[in-house]
Amino acid sequence: MKLTGAQALIKSLEMQQVEVMFGLPGGAILPVYDPILTSSIRHVLVRHEQGAGHMAEGYAMVTGRPGVAMVTSGPGATNIVTPLSNAYMDSTPLVVVSGQVATGAIGTDAFQECDITGVTMGITKHNWLIKSAEDIPRTVAAAFHVATTGRPGPVLIDVPKDVSNATMEWYWPESEHDLDLPGYHPVTEGDPAAIRRAAELLAAAERPVLYVGGGVLKARAAEAVRALAERTGAPVVTTLMARGAFPDSHPLCLGMPGMHGNYTAVTAMQRCDLLVSLGARFDDRVTGKVDAFAPEATVVHVDIDPAEIGKVRRPEVGIVGDCRQVTEGLVAALGDAAPPDLGAWWDQLRAWQEEYPLYYEEAEGGALRPQAVVEALRDAAPPGTVVVAGVGQHQMWASQWWRFDEPYTWVNSGGAGTMGFAVPAAVGAKVGRPDRTVWAIDGDGCFQMTAQELVTAAAERIPVKVAILNNAYLGMVRQWQEMFYGERYSEVYLSPDLPDYVLWAEAMGCVGIRAESPEDVGPAIEKANAIDDRPVVVDFRTDAFEKVFPMVPAGAPNDDIVVHPDQQGGPR
Give the residue with the Cβ less far from other proteins, 85 or 399: 85
Q: Contact region for other proteins (CB under 8 A) — 13-21, 52-60, 181-189, 360-368?
A: 181-189
CB of residue 117 vs other proteins: minimum separation in angstroms? 7
Strands annotated E in 31-151: 42-45, 67-71, 94-100, 126-129
Residue 281 touching other proteins (CB under 8 A): no
| Distance, CA of 242 to CA of 239 (rounded, Å) | 5
Q: At residue 276, what are phi and psi to the nearest 5 degrees?
A: -100, 110
Is 465 designated active site? no
Residue 339 touching other proteins (CB under 8 A): no
CB of residue 119 vs other proteins: minimum separation in angstroms? 11
CB of residue 26 vs other proteins: minimum separation in angstroms? 24
Peptide bond preceding 550 in cis form (omega within 30 of 0): yes
Give me the catalytic one of 49, 57, 134, 308.
Answer: 49
CB of residue 494 vs other proteins: minimum separation in angstroms? 34
- Chain centroid offset of residue 356 CA: 28
Residue 306 touching other proteins (CB under 8 A): yes
Give the residue with the Cβ less far from other proteins, 108 or 517: 108
- DSSP string over 405-432: -STT-EE---SS--TT-HHHHHHHHHHH
Give the CA angle between residues 363, 480, 390 to the nearest 5°: 75
Give the residue with the Cβ less far from other proteins, 210 or 304: 304
Cβ neighbours for 229, distance < 8 A, ≥ 6 positions apart:
210, 236, 246, 250, 252
Residue 305 touching other proteins (CB under 8 A): yes
**Among 47, 54, 125, 207, contact with other proteins (rule: CB under 8 A):** 125
Count CA within 13 A, CB hemisphere, residue 76: 27
Q: Specify the 3-state DSSP secondary structure of 171.
A: coil
Q: How many CB atoms lie within 10 A of CB 268?
A: 28
Is 476 designated active site? yes
Q: Which residues of 40-63 are buried (b: 16+ CB within 10 A; e: fewer)?
A: ebebbebbbbbbbbbbbbbbbbbb
Residue 181 touching other proteins (CB under 8 A): yes
Give me the catalytic one of 14, 15, 112, 200.
Answer: 112
Encoded one letter per residue, x for contact with other proteins by CB under 8 A and - for no contact, window 128-167 reads -x----------------x---------------------
Q: Are 69 and 21 in contact (CB under 8 A)?
A: yes
Summary count for the chain: helices (H), strands (E): 23, 20
Q: Contact region for other proteins (CB under 8 A) — 87-95, 304-312, 371-379, 483-491?
A: 304-312
Return the amino acid letter for 144.
Answer: F
Q: Contact region for other proteins (CB under 8 A) — 16-24, 81-89, 162-170, 301-309?
A: 301-309
Strand 67-71 relative to strand 94-100, pairing? parallel
Residue 335 touching other proteins (CB under 8 A): no
Is 112 designated active site? yes
Q: Contact region for other proteins (CB under 8 A) — 123-131, 351-359, 445-453, 505-513?
A: 123-131
Residue 118 touching other proteins (CB under 8 A): yes
- DSSP string over 46-59: -SSHHHHHHHHHHH
Residue 117 touching other proteins (CB under 8 A): yes
Q: How many residues bind other proteins (CB under 8 A)?
A: 18
**Among 172, 184, 346, 480, contact with other proteins (rule: CB under 8 A):** 184
**Among 45, 290, 307, 503, contact with other proteins (rule: CB under 8 A):** 307
Strand order in the sheet with 465-470: 410-411, 386-389, 438-443, 465-470, 536-541, 511-515
Residue 121 touching other proteins (CB under 8 A): yes
Q: Contact region for other proteins (CB under 8 A) — 113-121, 224-232, 480-488, 550-558?
A: 113-121
Give the residue with the Cβ less far from other proteins, 24 or 157: 157
Q: Contact region for other proteins (CB under 8 A) — 55-63, 91-99, 309-317, 475-483?
A: 309-317
Residue 344 touching other proteins (CB under 8 A): no
Q: Are 416 and 85 in contact (CB under 8 A)?
A: yes
Strand 167-169 relative to strand 2-4, pairing? antiparallel
Residue 310 touching other proteins (CB under 8 A): yes
CB of residue 186 vs other proteins: minimum separation in angstroms? 10
**Among 1, 175, 177, 182, contact with other proteins (rule: CB under 8 A):** 182
Give the residue with the Cβ less far from other proteins, 128 or 549: 128
Q: At residue 514, what are phi and psi to the nearest 5 degrees?
A: -120, 140
Give the residue with the Cβ less far from other proteins, 183 or 382: 183
CB of residue 124 vs other proteins: minimum separation in angstroms? 10
CB of residue 122 vs other proteins: minimum separation in angstroms? 5
Residue 345: exposure state from Cβ atoms within 10 A (0-12, 13-18, ≥19) = buried
Residue 478: exposure state from Cβ atoms within 10 A (0-12, 13-18, ≥19) = buried
Q: Are 528 and 382 in contact (CB under 8 A)?
A: no
Give the residue with the Cβ less far from other proteins, 306 or 518: 306
Give the residue with the Cβ less far from other proteins, 183 or 570: 183
Q: Are 143 and 155 in contact (CB under 8 A)?
A: yes
What sign for the dihedral angle of Cα 258, 262, 263, 266?
Answer: negative
Is 241 designated active site? no
**Among 38, 109, 177, 183, contact with other proteins (rule: CB under 8 A):** 183
Is 16 designated active site? no
**Among 1, 38, 109, 122, contact with other proteins (rule: CB under 8 A):** 122
What does the binding site for other proteins look like in residue numbers (CB under 8 A)? 117-118, 121-122, 125-126, 129, 146, 181-184, 305-307, 309-311
Name the residues annotated as catalytic: 49, 111-112, 161, 476
